[in-house]
């Protein structure tokens, strides 16, 4: 069997370039195409040259239909509206669609689940082994500790990030909520400003920092009277997420159509 063919959408983005490098340097996979949005300065540029891995003879295109028809998998770290459209195309082409995009709003999972009847979708707000392991630890800690322990999720990212809280912060908040058997949407406090009153017991709070070039730092703090437990992860390089996405594509290659998470890929779902 030949190498798994992988295309990168959002190819000129920060993650797009890291994804091209990761596919290029991983045995068993090869680059089949790159897509950017209409009007992007990157259209027509060489996929390898834009990512600094040398000339590949694959021009970046704004025609996902043709690219999806000639690939086995797509790596997608773009924006929610774009990823929704790509999921439909992935379903038509019956390929693997690895979605790292964050900033989703309520209800946007439904069309993805519909697409997953035909595509193999792996979606995660964080593709690193470390963060997915951390989520497991957070779930266990939250299950072991009662509501005397307040749960707060703190994150910091680079100044260009457009969504908050980060997809990873929400993934960790979700893990804490599962451990506590509560609904995150009902119990989360995403912003505090002005006279907020005292902290409501049993809620999960989020705090967001933005600045500089920080790739991604997350802490989950369990704070009780007189003691505090902190579980944290610091990402030092985007290649970590890109390598995770390639691993997800290889894993999804021979799976049945379905809606999977990175925990499934890493064997961390319990
Ligand atoms: P970025 O802005 O540098 O890149 C996004 C790219 O997508 C841009 O080049 C943009 O032109 C392209 N794009 C947007 N709409 C498109 C469309 N319709 N068709 C084709 N291309 C389109 O952003 P980034 O820092 O690379 O992050 C991208 C996404 O990945 C964000 O949602 C971010 O939060 C997420 N992210 C996820 C993980 C993870 O592990 N899951 C890690 C890092 C970043």
DSSP result, 127-151? --HHHHHHHHHHHHHHHHS-TTSEE
| Residue 24, both tokens | 């290029």
Nearest CA, atom 34, ligand 1: 102
pTM higher than 0.75, yes or no?
yes
Using the predicted structure, report yes or no on whether residue 162 has a pLDDT greater than 90. Answer: yes
CA of residue 147 to ligand 1 center, whole Å? 37
Show which residues are catalytic: 157, 161
User: In the structure, which protein residues have their CB atom closer than 6 angstroms to any atom of ligand 1?
Assistant: 9-10, 12-16, 35-37, 40, 77-79, 82, 100-103, 124-127, 167, 241
Q: Is 117 left (phi over 0), alpha (psi -120 to 50) or beta?
A: alpha
| Residues of the chain by 3-state class (helix, strand, coil), percent to 5 | 35, 25, 40
Cα torsion angle, 100, 101, 107, 110, sign? negative
Which atom of ligand 1 is the closest one to the Cα of 245?
Answer: 40
Nearest CA, atom 31, ligand 1: 101
Please report the pLDDT score of residue 269 as a whole number: 81
Helix axis angle for 14-24 and 239-252, nearest 10°, is 60
What is the pLDDT confidence band of residue 193, given thresholds at 50, 70 and 90?
Answer: very high
CA of residue 10 to ligand 1 center, whole Å? 6
Please report the pLDDT score of residue 156 as a whole number: 98
Using the predicted structure, report yes or no on whether residue 145 has a pLDDT greater than 90. Answer: yes
Using the predicted structure, report yes or no on whether residue 270 has a pLDDT greater than 80. Answer: no
Using the predicted structure, report yes or no on whether residue 1 has a pLDDT greater than 80. Answer: no
Please give the Cα distance from 73 to 253 (Å, whole number).
Answer: 8
Cα-to-chain-centroid distance, residue 267: 17
């Amino acid at each position: 069997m030949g190498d798994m063919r992988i295309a990168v959408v959002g190819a000129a983005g920060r993650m797009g370039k890291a994804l091209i490098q990761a596919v290029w340097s991983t045995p068993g996979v090869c680059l089949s195409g790159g897509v950017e949005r209409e009007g992007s300065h990157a259209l027509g540029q060489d996929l390898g040259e834009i990512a600094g891995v040398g000339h590949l003879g694959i021009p970046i295109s704004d025609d996902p239909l043709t690219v999806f028809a000639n690939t086995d998998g797509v790596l997608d770290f773009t924006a929610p509206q774009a990823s929704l459209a790509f999921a439909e195309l992935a379903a038509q082409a019956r390929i693997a669609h690895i979605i790292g995009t964050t900033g989703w709003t309520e209800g946007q999972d439904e069309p993805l689940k519909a697409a997953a009847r035909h595509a193999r979708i792996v979606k995660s707000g964080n593709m690193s082994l470390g963060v997915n392991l951390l989520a497991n630890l957070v779930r266990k800690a939250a299950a072991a500790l009662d509501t005397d322990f307040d749960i707060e999720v703190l994150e910091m990212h680079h100044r260009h990030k457009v969504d908050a809280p980060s997809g990873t912060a929400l993934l960790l908040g979700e893990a804490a909520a599962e451990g506590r058997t509560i609904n995150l949407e009902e119990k989360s406090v995403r912003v505090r400003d002005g006279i907020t009153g005292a902290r409501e017991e049993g809620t999960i709070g989020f705090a967001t920092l933005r600045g500089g070039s920080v790739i991604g730092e997350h802490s989950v703090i369990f704070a009780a009277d007189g003691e505090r437990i902190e579980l944290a992860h610091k990402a030092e390089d985007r290649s970590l997420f890109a390598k995770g996405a390639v691993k997800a594509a290889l894993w999804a290659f021979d799976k049945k159509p379905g809606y999977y998470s990175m925990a499934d890929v890493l064997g961390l779902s319990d």
